[in-house]
Amino acid sequence: MAPPILCVDIGTSSMKGGVFSEEGEVLQLLRIPVADPGTEDFHRFDPTRWEEGFRLLVSRLTTSIPERIVLSGQGPTLIPVDREGKPTFFALLWLDGREDVVPGGKSLFLPKARWFQKYEGTAYHRTTHFLTCPEYLIRKLTGEVVTVSPSAEFDPYYWNREELDRYELPPDLFPPLIRPATLIGRVTKEGASRFGLSPNAMVYAGGPDYLMSLLGTATTRVGRTCDRAGTSEGINVCTPTFIQHSRLRCLPHLIPGLYTLAGMLSSSGRLFEWFRDLTNQRTLAYDLMMETIEALLPEVVRTPEKFPSFFPFAQLGNGWDFSRGIFVGLGTEHGKAELGFAVVEAIGFAVRSIVEELERVGCAIDILRVSGGQANNRLWNRMKANIVGKPLLVPRVKDAELVGGLAVLRTADGTFKDFDEAANSLVTFDELFEPAPPLEALFRERYERYKERCGRFIDALG
């Protein structure tokens, strides 16, 4: 039997690993926590946690040691490192707000480097390279210094000469750009010893986690839509043309000739973690919490006006962020379950608002292909379908980035002719959650009222 394939994705709160056979059979799935989204100070995140997380992940493998590895990860995140690959500062994470944007620039990464140059001069002058999230770990495994950009069309969103000149940053700090499915190198003796891998195991380029998730849900054709929900959430629809929109982000797809138009919810998972901490339910299983919340639905149907609503602070740009918020309509009769209902309804309404915006610009959305940590909760999937008003299609492997990584690797070795064929051959789905007409009608009415009130409360929050 051929050695298994290891696909790894570095998320904001956890590192996911999937071990697959050459035929695409799932041999093992792993998840290693690397941060607590409810309590983490993301301004002081130590990137060496990813090294420890990867070492722990490999130590828990119950299969034979993989000979081929593909890595993907979150972003836009930068890690400044010295000549030995050691961090000179904390990770500049995608969600920490540390950036200095130059008007007219496209790069999603260089604003962070410019901020670092401007405010952390001592560490900046010790920095030899800026590495993105998965490439930090690739450097530890292979010794190679690279950055994976999906395509030439995507390069300006990382960096190229024009963007570097615009930001007045030296090119030698930024590694050369390579493409997904590239064989980057082999695990060095040092890397093998540090992480418990075979020397000379081959390491392949994956790509940004959201694009791997699109492959891992077969969201590779016009009109298909993926709702990728973990610590953050993004609703991506495939379009045949570039669409400019002030509240949506359009980027090139990994599939040539396609684009992804997306609405971002940067805090949906963090919002629920905040609620767990607020109500002292940190140790309670998600399913039990959702059972309690879902059990309220018959009463919501009978007396909808008696239930509170939660209004998080909402950015009106291309993101939706939770930094402050207010509960409206709280009474002495309300407890944890009613507060939880208000929070999950608010998250669902945020998703619905993005779907509404996408449809307003001409993207017909019939089904949401869901992935990420939130997709593991069947009760939430069922309730979300009713709140959003769209069917939810759930893949067999919920951490779809892992199957996306497998699609990349199996394209690299010639098993499939391209990423689209690989994704549509490897991805399978387990369940379809369809909205129940009475509940969909209930939440449609509540959503319209919620929208009317939302603007007033956002203004009140300042």
The reported pLDDT for the residue numbered 323 is 63
Which residue range forms the structural domain that includes residue 368?
Answer: 219-400+417-462
Percentage of the chain with pLDDT > 70? 96
Question: CA–CA separation, 39 vs 48, rounded Å?
Answer: 19
- Does one domain contain both 179 and 253? no
The reported pLDDT for the residue numbered 312 is 78
Does 37 score more than 80 pLDDT? no
The reported pLDDT for the residue numbered 313 is 64
The reported pLDDT for the residue numbered 179 is 98
Asked if the peptide bond before residue 304 counts as cis, ω within 30 degrees of 0, the response is no
- Let me know if residue 206 belongs to a domain: no
Question: Span 442-457, mean pLDDT?
Answer: 86
Q: What is the mean pLDDT of the chain?
A: 93
- Identity (one letter) of the amino acid at 292? T
Question: CA–CA separation, 406 vs 325, rounded Å?
Answer: 40
Any idea what the CATH number is for the domain that residue 360 is in?
3.30.420.40
- Does one domain contain both 69 and 130? yes
- Let me know if residue 352 belongs to a domain: yes
- Let me know if residue 412 belongs to a domain: no
Question: CA–CA separation, 54 vs 16, rounded Å?
Answer: 9
Residue showing tokens 């309590």: 39
* Domain termination residue (choose one: 139, 173, 200): 200
- Does one domain contain both 193 and 224? no
Residue 349: both structure tokens together: 């309404």
* Domain termination residue (choose one: 145, 169, 200): 200
Does 302 score more than 80 pLDDT? yes
Residue 144: both structure tokens together: 């190679």
pLDDT in tens, 370-405: 999 889 999 999 999 999 999 999 999 999 999 999
- Does one domain contain both 40 and 125? yes
* 168: confidence class by pLDDT, cuts 50, 70, 90: very high
The reported pLDDT for the residue numbered 247 is 87
- Does one domain contain both 175 and 64? yes
Angle 419-426/209-216 helices, nearest 10 degrees?
60
- Let me know if residue 78 belongs to a domain: yes
Residue 325: both structure tokens together: 């918020």
Look at residues 118, 125, 107, 121 and name the one whose alpha carbon lies nearest to residue 173.
Answer: 125
Question: CA–CA separation, 178 vs 237, rounded Å?
Answer: 25
Are 107 and 167 spatial neighbours (Cβ–Cβ below 8 Å)?
Answer: yes
- Does one domain contain both 110 and 65? yes
Question: Span 323-350, mean pLDDT?
Answer: 89
- Does one domain contain both 225 and 196? no
The reported pLDDT for the residue numbered 326 is 83
Are 184 and 203 spatial neighbours (Cβ–Cβ below 8 Å)?
Answer: yes
Does 194 score more than 70 pLDDT? yes
- Let me know if residue 207 belongs to a domain: no
- Does one domain contain both 273 and 173? no
Does 317 score more than 60 pLDDT? no
Considering only 137-141, 371-375, 457-461, which range has the smallest mean pLDDT?
457-461
The reported pLDDT for the residue numbered 318 is 42
Secondary structure string (H, E, C) spanning 40-92: CCHHHCCCHHHHHHHHHHHHCCCCCCCCEEEEEECCCCEEEECCCCCECCCCE
Question: CA–CA separation, 203 vs 189, rounded Å?
Answer: 14
Residue 332: CA count within 13 A, CB half-sphere: 0
- Let me know if residue 231 belongs to a domain: yes
Question: Span 412-427, mean pLDDT?
Answer: 97
- Let me know if residue 243 belongs to a domain: yes
* 462: confidence class by pLDDT, cuts 50, 70, 90: low
Percentage of the chain with pLDDT > 90? 81
- Does one domain contain both 134 and 173? yes
- Does one domain contain both 177 and 283? no
Q: Judging by beta carbons within 10 Å of its beta carbon (0-12, 13-18, 19+), is residue 437 exposed, middle or buried?
A: exposed
* Domain termination residue (choose one: 143, 166, 200): 200
Between the CA of residue 172 and those of 51, 99, 127, 159, what are the distances in Å?
25, 20, 11, 12
Question: CA–CA separation, 182 vs 176, rounded Å?
Answer: 13
- Let me know if residue 348 belongs to a domain: yes
Domain count, the chain: 2
The reported pLDDT for the residue numbered 36 is 84
Q: What angle do CA 31, 230, 245 make, to 5 degrees?
A: 145
Does 173 score more than 50 pLDDT? yes
pLDDT in tens, 349-368: 999 999 999 999 999 999 99
pLDDT in tens, 236-290: 999 999 999 988 999 999 999 999 999 988 777 778 888 888 888 888 888 898 9
Beta pairing partners, 327: 310
Are 258 and 238 spatial neighbours (Cβ–Cβ below 8 Å)?
Answer: yes
The reported pLDDT for the residue numbered 461 is 56
Are 321 and 267 spatial neighbours (Cβ–Cβ below 8 Å)?
Answer: yes
The reported pLDDT for the residue numbered 322 is 63
The reported pLDDT for the residue numbered 295 is 93
pLDDT in tens, 204-247: 999 999 999 999 999 999 999 999 987 778 999 999 999 999 88
Question: Span 86-110, mean pLDDT?
Answer: 96
For the beta carbon of residue 103, count every other beta carbon within 10 angstroms.
Answer: 5
Look at residues 157, 127, 118 and name the one whose alpha carbon lies nearest to residue 145.
Answer: 127
Beta carbons within 8 Å of 119's beta carbon, 6+ residues apart? 98
- Does one domain contain both 296 and 431? yes
Does 314 score more than 80 pLDDT? no
- Does one domain contain both 287 and 157? no
* Spacing of C-alpha 258 from chain mean position: 20
* Spacing of C-alpha 427 from chain mean position: 18
